[in-house]
Amino acid sequence: MNNRYNRHIILSEIGQEGQDKISKAKVLVIGAGGLGCPVLQYLTAAGIGTIGIVDFDVVEISNLQRQVLFGTSSLGKNKAEAAKKRLEDLNEAISIIAYPEKLTHKNAIGLFNQYDIIVDGSDNFATRYLVNDASIITNKPLVFGSIYKFEGQVSVFNYNNGPSYRCLFPSPPEKGTVPNCSEIGVLGVLPGIIGSMQANEVLKIILGLGKALSGELLCYNALNNKTTTLKFNKSESKIDTVLSKKKNFHTYHIDEFCEVDNHIISIKEVVDQANIQTIDVREAHETPKIENLEVTAIPLSELEQSIDKIDSEKQKAIFCQSGIRSKKAVSILKTLEITNCYSIIEGALEIKSYLKEQHKVLSDER
């Protein structure tokens, strides 16, 4: 086994003692997506003794541009389970545990208590605040990463009594103001760069080497290869607020600490209602096209000039590719005093899948 980790062991700063620390460590990775894939690969190769993977999502073809653990044979499979299978081939000597479930306030504390370090590879603000708060309550160091188009960020929170995510970002951005990569895009290699930096911070923490990015936010720009490090301080009041929720933490909803958008609706509710107008605010070239449902197509850029296409007598259910533009459309219509507007929580792909399944069920019944 020493042959596997020889390049670690011959480093005087690590040696056999350091490799033993790595082998005894337990790391929980939230998300097996763009960031999670490189984190998981390098931590597995390094010999982390126990790695947990939390992800309820399934592999889609659009993931393959950057989520390098997966291939075409992984399509449709749960990401945590698909990642576990690939990683076990990379290193069969460690324990890899897949949790094919959504992280919630009900299961977060129990999961975090089983591990030494938490790595956040999530892609939404509600989960980031949940991960942060559960890390504070369980007193676990949290290695954070995020990506946006050509830029990435890395930091370490809640380490050695250091600041938390809420100390840096006290409040989440307004709903719908920050698009995710399915809306805005991301350079395929960027999550590999940022995820590798996260894995580096994990190993530094385990080995006690160097200086962890606690109280510092490293910002990386892939277009000019420049990095900027911003310093921030701990806010005792923010930490105390989280700790005050400890007793009832399991009762909260994932959006409790973020602003909850009440103007949302599911595709199931849309299909079950008669007096409703379904509006697609995507551009004409975007796919998939929606069948088995009467849809009014109004691109978001033309919304204010196309009010005559909106039925004032009906409720309005609006959708886009993933939910960002539909929420913005609801806000625009609200300012124009057009009421009874809702954003469909599912994106176009999920909507098509649901309608296809419903159509199949109806056909079988006939």
Of 3.40.50.720, 3.40.50.2300, 3.40.50.300, 2.40.400.10, the CATH number of 6-257 is 3.40.50.720
pLDDT at 13 over 50: yes
pLDDT at 258 over 60: no
DSSP H stretches of helix in 139-266 = 165-168, 181-184, 190-207, 236-243
> Residue 312 is encoded by which pair of tokens?
């004032």
pLDDT at 254 over 60: yes
The pLDDT-based confidence of 292 (bands split at 50, 70, 90) is confident
CATH code for the domain defined by 264-365: 3.40.250.10
The answer to whether 271 and 302 have CB atoms below 8 angstroms apart is no
CA–CA distance, 85 with 22 (Å, rounded to integer): 21
pLDDT at 259: 43
Over the stretch 75-110, which tens digit does the pLDDT of each residue have?
999 999 999 999 999 999 999 999 999 999 999 999
Residue among 241, 259, 263 at smallest CA distance from 171: 259
DSSP code for 188: T
pTM for the model: 0.70
Residue-by-residue DSSP string for 248-271: TGGGS-TTTTS----SEE-HHHHH
Percent of the chain with pLDDT over 90: 70
pLDDT at 256 over 80: no
The answer to whether 63 and 33 have CB atoms below 8 angstroms apart is yes
Other CB atoms within 10 A of residue 140 CB: 19
Over the stretch 151-209, which tens digit does the pLDDT of each residue have?
999 999 999 999 999 999 887 765 555 655 655 778 999 999 999 999 999 999 999 99
The pLDDT-based confidence of 260 (bands split at 50, 70, 90) is very low
Over the stretch 51-69, which tens digit does the pLDDT of each residue have?
999 999 999 999 999 999 9
Q: Where are the domains of the chain?
A: 6-257, 264-365
Q: Which residues contact 50 (CB under 8 A, 6 or more apart)?
A: 25, 26, 27, 94, 95, 96, 97, 115
CA–CA distance, 265 with 200 (Å, rounded to integer): 41
pLDDT at 250: 86
The answer to whether 151 and 228 have CB atoms below 8 angstroms apart is no
